[in-house]
A and B are shown apart, each in its own frame.
Chain A
Amino acid sequence: MEKKEIICISCPLGCRVEVRGDGENIESIEGNQCPQGREYAREEFMNPTRILPTTVRVSGGELPLVSVKTEAPIPRDKIFSAMDQIAQVTVEAPVKLGEVIIEDLVGTGVSLVATRRVLSDKKAADGEKV
């Protein structure tokens, strides 16, 4: 049996919700002031996930980096291994908005996609607008 205090992020109130349970079952949820808080705490207790926004190196681009995010939330405990994988990747410009940079990031099945456009150096020099 595990006990965890979870701060609800659904509103500025930031209720401290206490969840008791194990990996598969929840025994109790206390401290929330609304149903949203209950739902959030359940999710956060069973399977906390996060969108990971970061950057990836670009070669031959108008910028050295392209901003990226995971297309869907990934398990919170995968964040650092994801960052490690991302760190050693370089994409070649041009990069399109929404382009998949890494498929199946650290075995999560979630893709890492570009959140902006990066033109190649030459195009940028020719005056095309970013």
Chain B
Amino acid sequence: MKQEYIISAYSENHIGLLNRITIIFTRRKVNIESITASVSAIEGISKLTIVVNDEKEKVVNITKQIEKQVEVLKAFYHTNEEMIFQEIALYKVPTQALMESDKLEKLIRQHNARILEITPEYTVIEKTGHKEETQDLFNGLVEYGVLQFIRSGRVAITRSPIEKLSEFLRERDALLEKMESRRSLRTSKK
């Protein structure tokens, strides 16, 4: 059964890595619903948040292929329920609509949106929320004439108290140390 999954990949910051990762989706003809590249809580480590709508089996396979890339430290997949997530949307409407009646102002209040900028020609509104919520506001604004609209990629964090990666990095450091000591043992034997 197809459903929405959020894939998060933690990686070294490396030119071209984004390309390497998106190729994995292209090759399997899986559409990327949204993608966000960002810094993580850990210095020097980037985080990609990718939203896809597909079967679990395929998502698991893709997550492993992402993790296989040399610069990727770890990749996780989650269902929407397992994460707290938001998207941000910006809407540009004619200021005249705001002046003509209070309906537009009420709509903005109802949706908990806020006005970023008002000029004589246009007004820019901002709303954060889930896709359905930002879409709802868009639908409400259509009658006033939406001059421009944009929605960001998803940002998401897990419900656990710390970034999963910090735990992972501790284990990774221990593993690398073990590898190193085993290697020096081998070379000293020679």
Genuine A/B complex: no
